[in-house]
Amino acid sequence: MFKESYDELKYNVTWPTWPSLYKSAITVIVASIFVGLLIFLIDFAWAFIFNLLYS
């Protein structure tokens, strides 16, 4: 069973190239930072608005 799984992973799976993998990883990192900053800014704006309204 393990030999079949190993053979399938080694010979039948198309693995990404290193440049493709690097590009994808950079894209994910940049997108994650962007979404995190966007959520932070929205949260900061809402907190500012609510502090103005309720204080």
Q: What are the tens digits of pLDDT across the range 1-42?
A: 889 999 998 899 998 999 999 999 999 999 999 999 999 999
Computed over its alpha carbons, how large is the radius of gyration of the chain? 22
- Residue 10 domain-assigned (yes or no): no
| Domain contains 7 | no
pLDDT confidence of residue 36: 98
Residue 3 lies in a domain: no
* Structure letter (DSSP) for residue 16: P
Does residue 40 form part of some domain? yes
Query: Is 32 a domain residue?
Result: yes
List the structure tokens of 33. 């930072």
Give Cβ neighbours of residue 16 (< 8 Å, ≥ 6 apart): 24
What is the structure's pLDDT at 1? 82
Residue 12 located in a structural domain: no
Is residue 8 one of the residues assigned to a domain? Answer: no
Q: How many domains does the chain have?
A: 1
> In the structure, what pLDDT confidence band is assigned to residue 55 with cuts at 50, 70 and 90?
confident
List the domain range (segments joined by +) for residue 32. 18-55
Maximum CA extent, the chain: 67
Would you state the pLDDT for residue 46? 98
Tokens of 10: 């080694």
